[in-house]
Amino acid sequence: MALSPGGTQRSQTRETFDDYAVRSLIERAFAACDVIQLKVAFLRLLRAMDPDPAAQKGIDRRIVTAMIADADRSTGALRLLVLTDAATVARDAGLTDLSPGRDAQDSGHV
C-alpha cells in the first residue's frame, strides 16, 4: 500500500492485460490497416511479444510478404523503394527464399 497525495492508502496493484487479448487486438489492427508503415509496426509489436525464434522468423516472413504486397500496388520509384526495403528486411532476417523476382520467375512472368 502507498499513500496518495491526500494521505489515504491506495493499492499498488496494476491491471494486467491478457496476452491473447493484446495479440488479438494487434492482429485486428494489422488487418484493418492499409498503411504499410503501420502494418509493419504492428507486426514488429507481435515479434517483440514472442521470445520463440521460430515464431519470430514467421513474423519476419509476414513483414516481408506485406511489404512485397504493398509494392505490388505501387509503381515507379515508390515500388522500387518498397521492394528494396523488403529485400533488406528479408536479408537481415535470413529469409533468402523470399525475393520479389523469384515469384515472377516461378510464374513465368519475367
pLDDT in tens, 49-68: 999 999 999 999 999 999 99
Task: Flag whether 1 is in a domain.
Answer: no
The β-bridge partners of 3 are 9
- Give the chain's domain count: 1
Instruction: Place 19 in a pLDDT band, splitting at 50, 70 and 90.
Output: confident
Confidence of residue 47 (pLDDT cuts 50, 70, 90): very high
Q: Report d(CA 56, CA 88) in Å as an integer.
A: 17
Residue 67 forms part of a structural domain: yes
The range of the structural domain enclosing residue 67 comes to 16-106
Domain membership of residue 8 (yes or no) is no
Asked if residue 32 is part of any domain, the answer here is yes
| Contact (CB, 8 A) for 2 and 13 | no
Look up residue 5 and give its three cell numbers: 497525495
Across 57-70, b (16+ Cβ under 10 Å) vs e yields eebbbbbbebbbeb
* Phi–psi pair at 29, nearest 5 degrees: -65, -40
